[in-house]
Amino acid sequence: MPKLLTGAEIVFKCLEDQKVEHIFGYPGGAVLPIYDELKNHPSIKHILVRHEQGAGHAAEGYARSSGKPGVVLVTSGPGATNVVTALTDAYMDSVPLVCISGQVPTHLIGTDAFQECDTTGITRPCTKHNWLVKDINDLSKVIHEAFRVATTGRPGPVLIDIPKDIQFAKTKYKKPNKEKNLNGKSHNKFSQDQIDELVKLLSKAKKPIIYSGGGVINSGPKASQALREFVELTGFPITSTLQGLGAYPGDDNQFLGMLGMHGTYEANNAMHDCDLLINIGARFDDRITGKIDEFSPNSKKVHIDIDPSSINKIIKVDLAIVGDVTSVISKINKTIAKRKNGHSKSNKSNIAKWWEQIEKWREKDSLNFVNSDESIKPQHAVQRLYELTKNKDTYVTTEVGQHQMWAAQHYKFNKPNRWMTSGGLGTMGYGLPAAVGVQIAHPEKLVIDIAGEASVLMTMQEMSTAVQYNLPIKIFILNNQYMGMVRQWQELLHEKNYSESYSEALPDFMKMAEAYGCKGIKAESPADLDDKIQEMIDYDGPVIFDCHVDPNENCFPMIPSGKPHNQMILGPKDQEENKIKGKGKALV
């Protein structure tokens, strides 16, 4: 007779077979049998967080920086509800997470038992799928299926709710099934005809632009490689969404910078005026498109995406190619190469005029700002941070707000998986726990959370996690004492009524660092900024860096006000001429 295993043992057997090395979690009554089993599985390391939301974001950071699914283990009731923000965040940004939650014993489900909640009900809209395992014989199958759902197609979070009696019950373990029942959900549905059609469009284009997104990162490092070849082959300009940064080198001349609400002048104008728009793994988010009616009005639009429901959801496209970015772009590259054999005529000459136009837009230097000798400008701080860390293969996470946009604008990424930020959900408090997860996945690398003081306070408790595991994460706080992005909108749209956006009382971050047992560094003047940043980089251990910046600085450029891409507000100089009025306010 084969050996019978308990539910808790099966959980770990599955994790081992799925090659999981780290789980992020927090114990509690309904998961104690699983925690009890932890000691018997030395290949799996558990990272104890301080709040379940932190576990979720840490797992997200881990997943995004490593390409492997992040695994979370939480208890029932509050454990599960605390992780909901992180699951929703992962769902919006397509991050593969497998969350295992404990549940009250099956006979108590529905009785309002202690720490009971309808976990599968609560998480249904924020996961790709979830399971309540009521029969021990289903457990191994469900866990393996969960990993498959989380990591295939458009990745995303899943949750497995395991009642406590199931964790004790015994059965045989089943290995993962090689034969996958896809239930009609295959992903590469494109044909050579579609590729040929695209290549034809490429050769005809006079004003093309490539707009790449997080799908390129999710498709793996090969996708970025293929994208770089594609951009080189075509000579086209490329812009990227917030999530796509790093897929194409940020310092390359063909890269126009990020597009969208706080994107560059050249990227947004090129989007507006182009005659061919190639969307690779992005989803026409509302922060990207601005006013839909006037979005890129004269272009043929191509959309390459693994998720069929992303196509025509917001913007009607002329050619849709449903498939994995790596396979699609590789196929395109091959087709282009084949065509070029014989006659090496490229259309690079066709687009020379277009490049001239782009260079004109570039001259606006839309990321400029007025630097100061007296106060540290936040943009300057990010630029210095970039200059001092660019040779170190640095991993950057962020919170949400102005600092996030400045980081996206001024920190140039050259490799995929180096940039972890909460885009879709916009979760303040994402960056610090995400940095914990990134550092776990890459113990030898420099990991920096570019933070705002308001955001970072939302999950500050995870510093304690960083100290416990001696994770040398650097929390680089651009401290302007305001919820900066809220303040900026209030200044521009609400007649400077700064309603509740100023933090009257902030902790002393130096003392806070001391209290957590890590290093605190404070910078107040531009003159000693570089030295202080260097000190932070050189310190072997976690650091809280309190960088006092100009509290009144706004994030520009910016698409305001119900306006299309070609009507941006540029820096302070341009602003006087371009006041935001009337119904335009709605779009910001």
Partner 1 sequence: MPKSKSAYSIPTKKQKSDTYIFVVWVDNEAGVLARVVGLFSGRGYNIESLAVAEVDAVKNISRITIVTTGTPQVIDQIRLQLTKLVPVHKVAEFKREDKDVIFKEMALFKVVGKRNKIEKCLNACKKFNPVILDETKSSAVIQITALRREIDVMNKKLKPLGLISTSRTGAVAMTRGAKIFN
CA 325 – CA 226 distance, rounded (Å): 9
Give alpha helix (H) positions in 390-471: 402-410, 431-441, 453-456, 463-468
525 close to 374: Cβ distance less than 8 angstroms: yes
Please identify which of the residues 9, 37, 52, 462 carries the catalytic annotation.
Answer: 52
Q: Dihedral of CA 388/390/396/398: which sign?
A: positive
Neighbours of 428 (CB within 10 A): 20
Q: Which amino acid is at 256?
A: L
Please identify which of the residues 114, 353, 534, 579 carries the catalytic annotation.
Answer: 114
Catalytic annotation present for 460: no
Catalytic annotation present for 514: no
283, 314, 482, 504 from 500: Cα distances, Å: 33, 34, 9, 9
Q: How far is the CB of 472 from partner 1 (least distance, A)?
A: 37
Specify the residue, 68 or 287, whose C-beta has the smaller distance to partner 1.
287
Specify the residue, 179 or 374, whose C-beta has the smaller distance to partner 1.
179
CA–chain centroid gap for 431, Å, is: 10
Specify the residue, 291 or 522, whose C-beta has the smaller distance to partner 1.
291
Pairing of strands 5-6, 170-171: antiparallel
378 close to 282: Cβ distance less than 8 angstroms: no
CA 311 – CA 293 distance, rounded (Å): 17
Give alpha helix (H) positions in 341-430: 352-362, 378-389, 402-410
Instruction: Give CA angle at 493 (487, 496), nearest 5°.
Output: 55
Specify the residue, 311 or 325, whose C-beta has the smaller distance to partner 1.
311
Q: How far is the CB of 308 from partner 1 (least distance, A)?
A: 5
Specify the residue, 237 or 263, whose C-beta has the smaller distance to partner 1.
263
Specify the residue, 319 or 588, whose C-beta has the smaller distance to partner 1.
588
User: Residue numbers of the site for partner 1 (CB under 8 A)?
Assistant: 120-121, 124-125, 128-129, 132, 134, 149, 183-185, 286, 290-293, 307-309, 311-313, 316, 489, 493-494, 562, 582-583, 585-588
Specify the residue, 261 or 543, whose C-beta has the smaller distance to partner 1.
261
Coil, strand, or helix at residue 271? helix
Specify the residue, 185 or 204, whose C-beta has the smaller distance to partner 1.
185
451 close to 506: Cβ distance less than 8 angstroms: no
Q: How far is the CB of 139 from partner 1 (least distance, A)?
A: 15
Please identify which of the residues 13, 128, 164, 519 carries the catalytic annotation.
Answer: 164
Catalytic annotation present for 495: no
Q: How far is the CB of 9 from partner 1 (least distance, A)?
A: 25
Q: How far is the CB of 49 from partner 1 (least distance, A)?
A: 28
Strand order in the sheet with 319-322: 255-258, 238-240, 208-212, 276-280, 300-305, 319-322
CA 58 – CA 241 distance, rounded (Å): 23
Instruction: Give CA angle at 280 (276, 282), nearest 5°.
Output: 110
Question: Exposure pattern of 24-60 as b/e (b: 16+ CB <10 Å)?
Answer: bbbbbebbebbbebbeebeeeebbebbbbbbbbbbbb
Specify the residue, 183 or 349, whose C-beta has the smaller distance to partner 1.
183
Q: How far is the CB of 149 from partner 1 (least distance, A)?
A: 6
Query: ω before 542 within 30° of 0 (cis)?
Result: no
Q: How far is the CB of 134 from partner 1 (least distance, A)?
A: 8
Catalytic annotation present for 24: no
Question: Exposure pattern of 553-573 as b/e (b: 16+ CB <10 Å)?
Answer: bbbbbbbbbbbbbbbbbbbee
Catalytic annotation present for 295: no
Q: How far is the CB of 413 from partner 1 (least distance, A)?
A: 27
Q: How far is the CB of 154 from partner 1 (least distance, A)?
A: 8
Would you please indicate which residues are annotated as catalytic (active-site) residues? 52, 114-115, 164, 485
